[in-house]
Structure 1
Amino acid sequence: MTFEPEQLGQSRTDLAEKLRELHKRAGLTGDRLARRCNMSQSQISKFETGKKTPKLVDVERILRALDAPAELVTEITALARIANTEWQDKRSSWRRGMEKRQAELASLESEATELRYFLPAMITGLLATPEYIHASLSHTPGDPSRTIAKKLERQAILYDSAKTFTFLLTKQAVRWAIVPHSALAVQIGRLTSISYLPPNIRMGVIPLGVVMPRGPMNTFTIYDDRLATVENFTGRMVFRDPRDISEYIAIFTSFERYALFGGEARDLLEQCADPYR
């Protein structure tokens, strides 16, 4: 399935309209449909008015309850999958203010209990030194000082023992020098220090030269089993469809098998830092 970013907002409206039309065509009362779906009537009403976006599993339950024809099932489930995907372009983030984006990330992190980060090219803000963060924002417009402060504030979440974090970095990500070599040595040292924060933090490093079945296409983050974000140069996709999230968890797990953890990861980090000291 392919789509343009502008389809994402429209798909939510189209999905609500299709569900509303199908319900009307079936001639069922809202209460009767709710009983068939094992949902509340108010929940279905919110789906049909566009006030709430149903998950794909909710749509499938409604379609079964309405005995929808196969061609409509295909069309409406495709709409539901698009509606559960969001495109956030970087230019919009810049216009709103990057510190607001930091507040959104902090909210996602506070709500999740298990967080997984796949970092094939750069180090994420939760693990970064102030100098590294400043360098990573060099391409963004405006004064980055407030954004840097917000990123550093977010790092306190690492010490919340009620949460678990798994960071998977490639050796390339560790050594990508967006800061001077002396600062990069300090940054790698921070990674080593954070790796000593078990049991809630696992720091994995994937060595170069390991034969792997698939390439490291994108940076992505998984929040529990309810949401995944995937980043590229111009923005990020947000996936809420459980099938998409399951796929990203499977990819993460496959990469995790090739990573070094604990003392082996720290030895590799030391090897990375040595040339920059």
Structure 2
Amino acid sequence: MLEPETDQQQRKNLADTLKQLRKAAGLSGERLAARTAMSQSKISRIESGRVLPTVADVERIMKALDVPPGAREELLSLTRSANVEYTSLRSAARLGIWRSQAEIKALGESSSTIRQFLPAIPSGLIQTPEYARAVLTPEVEGRPARDVDRAVQARLDSQGALNDESRRFHFLLTEQAVRVKPAAESVMVDQVRHMIAVSRRPNVELSILPGRALIGAAPLNVFVVYDDRLVTTEIFAGKVVLRDYRDIAYHLNLFEHFRERAASGEGAREILESIADEFMRVRD
């Protein structure tokens, strides 16, 4: 999904190092697999670079190989670095924003629980076509051009994931994210009412963090947690993917902190209805 040369080199370095450590310990792939309770095929894929091991995977391998403490820290540092990926907005636009939408769709389809923290803008999974077009159309100087029609369609296609009631979706928006106006009032009214409708789906929890809520952490950026496998975070310049279990645990804790202070169910819908009414009055 993410940024090319540096990420690939880090993964190769990690794979090569793990393979060298196994050979230095005089173990076959089968024996290492037995010691780590992993499959031999997984060990092979890790050592060939076809699979990126998690920090937990590498910790198990190091324990099985009895790697010295100093080398452990160096290898863990390399693993954590390899488990952080970055894609610049410019790189994504060059490849096609629709590709990013397709990757997001694939991530969603392979996850049973998706938690989205949205301090700036509603998720693409809960956007109307007109709203999606407004936010995907570049107007700021320096922002790369994109195939808007294709990006909008890909975003709408990804919304089909909501129809799978075996999966859970948690959308946690700040009140400010709902009020930000990238489109005309008529589009905003439709967008807010669409979120109200989505909130009634049996597999969706939509929460609103009111502007008056007392919080103990800054709502700095959008992030999405896919099960307990990985976190994606968004910044102006691009997207970062985190796979270290400590980063995942931290973002899950952040999500719960904000969720405990947010309104859900009818409380969230009351806030949304009030905001829709405000946009209606301005439109009229």
Asked if the contact 2:174–2:209 (Cα under 8 Å) also holds between the matched residues in 1, the reply is yes
Q: 2:203 aligns with which of 179, 200, 219?
A: 200
RMSD: 1.8
The 5 A counterparts of 1:56-71 are 56-71=55-70
1:254 alignment partner in structure 2:
257
- Relative to the length of structure 1, the TM-score reads 0.92
Q: Quick one: which amino acid aligns to residue 268 of structure 2?
A: A
1:146 alignment partner in structure 2:
150
Return the alpha-carbon distance in structure 1 between the equivalents of residues 4 and 151 of structure 2: 26
Task: Identify which range, 32-41 or 159-168, moves more after superposition.
Answer: 32-41
The 5 A counterparts of 1:115-264 are 115-139=114-138, 140-197=144-201, 199-264=202-267
Shift of 1:30: 3.1
Asked if the contact 2:126–2:195 (Cα under 8 Å) also holds between the matched residues in 1, the reply is yes
Query: Structure 1, residues 16-74: CA drift from partner, whole Å, max 9, x if none?
Result: 12212222322333333332222333332332232222111111111111111111000
Query: Structure 1, residues 85-119: CA drift from partner, whole Å, max 9, x if none?
Result: 21122112111112222211111111111111100
Return the alpha-carbon distance in structure 2 between the equivalents of residues 160 and 45 of structure 1: 34
Shift of 1:6: 6.3
Return the alpha-carbon distance in structure 2 between the equivalents of residues 259 and 169 of structure 1: 9
Task: Identify which range, 265-274 or 7-16, moves more after superposition.
Answer: 7-16
1:12 alignment partner in structure 2:
11
SS state at 2:262 partner? coil
SS state at 1:216 partner? coil
Unaligned runs of 5+ in 1: none
SS state at 1:15 partner? helix
Return the alpha-carbon distance in structure 2 between the equivalents of residues 129 and 17 of structure 1: 47
Shift of 1:5: 9.1
Task: Identify which range, 82-91 or 128-137, moves more after superposition.
Answer: 82-91
1:34/1:263 Cα in 2 relative to 1: closer, same or farther (>3 Å)?
Answer: closer
Return the alpha-carbon distance in structure 1 between the equivalents of residues 51 and 146 of structure 2: 35
Task: Identify which range, 181-190 or 228-237, moves more after superposition.
Answer: 181-190
Return the alpha-carbon distance in structure 2 between the equivalents of residues 155 and 46 of structure 1: 33
SS state at 1:210 partner? coil
Return the alpha-carbon distance in structure 2 between the equivalents of residues 271 and 85 of structure 1: 40
Unaligned runs of 5+ in 2: 139-143
2:141 alignment partner in structure 1:
none
Return the alpha-carbon distance in structure 1 between the equivalents of residues 44 and 158 of structure 2: 37
Q: Quick one: which amino acid aligns to residue 188 of structure 1?
A: V
